[in-house]
């Protein structure tokens, strides 16, 4: 009798274990590598999304790994792979890392998943074209936009109004406003710069200047750059003129990426060029009306920006069931309502156009119109620097651009050298 009762209890226990979710043997576990690089409660938000996902998908367990910045995350993954280990199933990495990841043969194409979706093409078409551009290679989709941003000009609208200035619509207007809003003390020491334009990681924040001058530093080919183009050189001269002629920004390389938003919010500078990803932090700190706009171009009423940020990639070195689970997680993260929520809570631009039609986003924009301004800047976007052998080419450009900024070489000399070295680095990839 007792033996029979014990057997019945065991059967009931096993039956109850299967109620409301998958058994331990049925759960697919995936690692999700994520870069935490911007001042926002990112980790908490991601963990919240994972909890929601697992509640809806009890057969999948997501283990987040917060690996530092984008470079740290990429290095951690590639070190694991090179050492014979298994990569994560899914990761957020720079959109511009596409060619390096494909050449390393470590990511899986996503076209098959999208083709199998009900409404897959509509799903793709809903992403902003400027964000989706880096996802294509060889007629395949390799990544899905997620954590995306763009370069914008933040300006202290209260100071502009007090000085009787309009938001700048050209290089000349930008220089004049920058000069007018620079303030010094009785000893001639600067107590408020007109603008801070970080250049410690220069290519991204320089690109809108090149685009606004008439020639982006990269074209449609993945093996061509235009570093020595006269318009690019002219853009460098304008950047230098802000310190040498207008005396309204620190001279030389400005290694102040992390400090610039705080300087702006505290009133130490009237304008900064920075990422839309800094919007939330700036709005929380600033006690004045914050203006947001694309970077003015050389000619009146012209503007420019360039997209940036990270996409979601699936790694090919994990079992197929983990890749499939990773795709379900990607779909979850990029649902319309969630992209709206992500934008509202982080300051990143919502990657899907329909996110701006949601009630929650419309209510948010009514309260925070700057969020619409970051989206609207995308209409002026040129392509972010993304070529074969990106790391080397980017470092070449950084090196010579900074030499020009510091006066070690003329812009012509620096860009001629940069073009020659970049061409040499790209030659093996040219047909």
pLDDT in tens, 416-430: 999 999 999 999 999
pLDDT value of residue 17? 43
Domain 150-306+387-429, CATH among 1.20.1250.20, 3.40.50.10420, 3.30.70.1150, 3.40.190.10: 3.40.190.10
CA separation for the pair 199, 229 (Å, rounded)? 20
Q: How far is CA 303 from the centre of its chain?
A: 19
CA separation for the pair 233, 227 (Å, rounded)? 8
pLDDT value of residue 19? 43
Q: At 315, is the pLDDT very low, low, confident or very high (cuts 50, 70, 90)?
A: very high
pLDDT value of residue 3? 43
Beta strand pairing call for 307-314 and 144-156? antiparallel
Q: Is the pLDDT of residue 40 over 70?
A: no
- Give mean pLDDT, residues 14-42: 68
Q: At 347, is the pLDDT very low, low, confident or very high (cuts 50, 70, 90)?
A: confident
C-alpha dist (Å) from residue 148 to 127, 291, 430: 11, 20, 30
Q: Is the pLDDT of residue 14 over 50?
A: no
Residue 205 near residue 151, CB atoms below 8 Å: yes
* Residues with Cβ within 8 Å of residue 111, at least 6 apart in sequence: 139, 140, 141
pLDDT value of residue 25? 58
Mean pLDDT rounded to a whole number for the chain: 93
- Give mean pLDDT, residues 210-227: 96
- Give mean pLDDT, residues 198-205: 90
- Each domain of the chain, given as residue ranges in start order, spans 25-149+308-380, 150-306+387-429
DSSP 12-36: HHHHHHTTTS--GGGPEEEEEEE--
CA separation for the pair 253, 196 (Å, rounded)? 11
pLDDT value of residue 20? 46
DSSP state of 334: T
Q: Of the ranges 5-14, 90-99, 197-206, 359-368, which one carries the lowest mean pLDDT score?
A: 5-14
C-alpha dist (Å) from residue 159 to 150, 181, 183, 270, 279: 24, 8, 12, 7, 19
Residue 395 near residue 189, CB atoms below 8 Å: no
Q: pTM of this prediction?
A: 0.89
Instruction: Tell me the fold of 25-149+308-380.
Output: D-Maltodextrin-Binding Protein; domain 2 (3.40.190)
Tokens of 98: 């596409």
* Residues with Cβ within 8 Å of residue 25, at least 6 apart in sequence: none
Q: Please list the helix, strand and coil fractions of the chain in percent, rounded to the nearest 5, in that order.
A: 50, 15, 30
Q: At 137, is the pLDDT very low, low, confident or very high (cuts 50, 70, 90)?
A: very high
Q: At 204, is the pLDDT very low, low, confident or very high (cuts 50, 70, 90)?
A: very high
Q: At 37, is the pLDDT very low, low, confident or very high (cuts 50, 70, 90)?
A: low
DSSP state of 409: S
Share of the chain above pLDDT 90, in %: 88
Q: Is the pLDDT of residue 36 over 90?
A: no
Nearest-5° Cα angle at 208, 207 to 210: 65
CA separation for the pair 150, 307 (Å, rounded)? 4
Digit-coded pLDDT (tens) for 379-403 = 999 999 999 999 999 999 999 999 9
Closest to 271 in 3D by CA, of 161, 169, 196, 174 = 196
- Give mean pLDDT, residues 122-149: 95
Q: Please identify which residue in the block is written with the tokens 């390389």.
A: 253
pLDDT value of residue 346? 87
């Amino acid at each position: 009798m007792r033996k029979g009762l014990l057997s019945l209890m065991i059967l009931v226990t096993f039956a109850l274990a299967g109620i409301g979710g998958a058994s331990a043997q049925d759960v697919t576990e995936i690692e999700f590598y994520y870069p935490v690089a911007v001042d926002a409660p990112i980790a908490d938000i991601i963990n919240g999304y994972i909890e929601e996902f697992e509640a809806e998908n009890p057969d999948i367990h997501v283990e987040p790994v917060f690996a530092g910045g984008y470079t740290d995350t990429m290095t951690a993954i590639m070190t694991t792979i090179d050492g014979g280990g298994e990569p994560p199933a899914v990761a957020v990495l720079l959109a511009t890392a596409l060619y390096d990841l494909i050449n390393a043969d470590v990511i899986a194409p996503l076209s098959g998943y999208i083709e199998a979706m009900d409404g897959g093409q509509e799903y793709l078409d809903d992403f902003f074209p400027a964000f989706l551009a880096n996802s294509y290679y060889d007629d395949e989709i390799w990544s899905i936009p997620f954590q995306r941003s763009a370069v914008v000009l933040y300006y202290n609208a209260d100071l502009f109004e007090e000085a009787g200035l309009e938001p700048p619509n050209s290089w000349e207007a930008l220089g004049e406003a920058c000069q007018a809003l620079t303030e010094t003390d009785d000893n001639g020491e600067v107590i408020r710069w007109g603008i801070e334009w970080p250049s410690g990681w220069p290519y991204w924040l320089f690109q809108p200047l090149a685009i606004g001058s008439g020639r982006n530093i990269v074209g449609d080919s993945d093996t061509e750059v235009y570093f020595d183009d006269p318009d690019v050189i002219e853009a460098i001269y304008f950047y230098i003129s802000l310190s040498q002629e207008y005396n309204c920004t620190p001279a030389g390389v400005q290694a102040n990426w992390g400090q610039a938003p705080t300087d702006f919010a505290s009133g130490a500078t009237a304008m900064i060029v920075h990422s839309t990803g800094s919007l939330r932090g700036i709005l929380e700190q600033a006690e004045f009306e914050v203006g947001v706009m694309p970077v003015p171009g050389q000619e009146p009423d012209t503007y420019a920006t360039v997209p940036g940020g990270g996409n979601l990639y699936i790694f090919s070195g994990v079992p197929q069931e983990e890749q499939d689970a990773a795709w379900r997680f990607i779909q979850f993260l990029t649902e319309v309502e969630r992209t709206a929520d992500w934008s509202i809570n982080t300051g990143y631009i919502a990657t899907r156009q329909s996110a701006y039609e949601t009630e929650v986003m419309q209510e948010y924009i009514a309260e925070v119109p700057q969020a619409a301004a970051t989206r609207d800047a995308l209409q002026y976007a040129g392509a972010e620097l993304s070529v074969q052998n990106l790391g080397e080419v980017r470092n070449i450009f950084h090196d010579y651009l900074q030499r020009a900024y510091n006066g070690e070489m003329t812009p012509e000399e620096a860009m001629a050298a940069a073009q020659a070295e970049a061409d040499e680095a790209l030659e093996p990839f040219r047909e």
